[in-house]
Amino acid sequence: MRYGIVGTGALGGFYGGMLANSGADVHFLFRSDYEKVLKNGLRVDSVSGDFIVSPTDINAYRSTIEMPKCDVVLVCLKTVSNCHLKSLLPPLLGSDTTVIMVQNGLGMESDLARDFPGLSIAGGMAFICSTKVADGHINHADFGELTIGSHTVKDPEVLEKVGIDLKNAGVPAKLVDDLNSFRWRKLVWNIPYNGMTVIMDAGTDELMGEPHMRQLINELMLEVIAAGNTCGTHIEEDFAAKMMDYTDSMRPYKPSMKVDFDAGRAMEIGYIYSNPIRFAAENGFSMKLTSVMERQLKFLSTKYLLR
């Protein structure tokens, strides 16, 4: 299996790096990191063992036009760059290529299917603490599970092979039948914390330490669960309590949206907030609390990021 990694950042660098380090045939698309990686390789400092994919071993590219067709493409871009996929992906696509969208939020697979009718598409959700600390240098601090589910994958064996390759590479991979449910489940955490840490300029621990905010977060979780369940999921209500407990047990954490905002980068408002709100509305459910956050985030985006 030949793998293409589109977006070699915190996620693509880690998962692609692990695959390459295990001997898989991996081809990386780099942008600003390209020169540095040609010189020093791709460095991954990981809780499960540091390694470097050396300059002689790495298949590094600056453009997808130079890349070979791949059996599996992991799209590890931030969703704010998905508008570029229409031009980025075609060189990588053979007749049997499967594209896995390793991203947060909802609706990216159907957006991609609209641009590439008939394409074999899956979704991936990373449960990981990983950061790009410098060009060509990834720090993997905790966790690492990658959950993958089909959106329009025709050959069920493809994802099984991907799962095996990932496991051989030391990545805990999990294949799921119901991608939609897993995307909504992840939103139960992402919707309250990603945006609220930005809006309140606070860490997860600070939010959880103030009783009124804690209650609001719990209500947001219940709203996401109710919204998901009107969109075909079957998430039990006590999943909110589990996520609260889980967050209490975490070390203070800066969600990806807060990291992006603090660095002056675009926030993934569309796929994490607007799409869930829209899908729920189409099914007759109004995500009122979430809508407040969405508008506040759009305001902050206009005020601080788009100037």
Active site residues: 186
Residues 96-135 that bind its own copies (CB under 8 A): none
Render 98-163 in DSSP notation, one character per residue. EEEEE-SSSSHHHHHHHHSTT-EEEEEEEEEEEEEEETTEEEEEEEEEEEEEESS-S-HHHHHHHH
Q: 69, 161, 265, 298: which one contacts its own copies (CB under 8 A)? A: 298
Interacting stretch for its own copies, rule CB under 8 A, among 28-36, 147-155, 169-177, 203-211? Answer: 203-211
Contact flag: residue 216 with its own copies (CB under 8 A) = yes
Q: Which residues sit opposite 105 in a β-bridge?
A: none
Contact flag: residue 215 with its own copies (CB under 8 A) = yes
Residues 36-95 that bind its own copies (CB under 8 A): none
Contact flag: residue 302 with its own copies (CB under 8 A) = yes
Handedness of CA 274, 280, 283, 288 (dihedral sign): negative
CA dihedral 74, 64, 151, 102 (to 10 degrees): 30
Closest residue by Cα to residue 64 from 24, 39, 97? 97
Tokens of 52: 């470097």
Between 111 and 294, CB nearer to its own copies: 294
CB of 36 to its own copies, least distance (A): 37
How far is the CA of 70 from the CAs of 1, 14, 23, 251, 288, in angstroms?
8, 19, 16, 38, 43
H-type helices in the chain, by residue range?
10-21, 34-40, 85-88, 108-115, 156-168, 179-199, 204-208, 211-230, 239-249, 256-262, 269, 275-282, 288-300
Q: 75, 207, 227, 231: which one contacts its own copies (CB under 8 A)? A: 207
Residues 171-200 that bind its own copies (CB under 8 A): 199-200
Between 54 and 215, CB nearer to its own copies: 215
Tokens of 242: 């589990």
CB of 213 to its own copies, least distance (A): 4
Interacting stretch for its own copies, rule CB under 8 A, among 23-31, 78-86, 210-218, 249-257? Answer: 210-218
CB of 289 to its own copies, least distance (A): 5
Between 256 and 274, CB nearer to its own copies: 274
CB 160 within 8 A of CB 175: yes
Residues 258-297 that bind its own copies (CB under 8 A): 288-289, 291-296
Between 207 and 267, CB nearer to its own copies: 207
Q: 206, 245, 248, 282: which one contacts its own copies (CB under 8 A)? A: 206
Q: How many binding residues for its own copies (CB under 8 A)?
A: 23
Residues 258, 70: Cα–Cα separation, whole Å = 33
Interface positions with its own copies (CB under 8 A): 199-200, 202, 206-207, 210, 212-213, 215-216, 288-289, 291-296, 298-300, 302-303
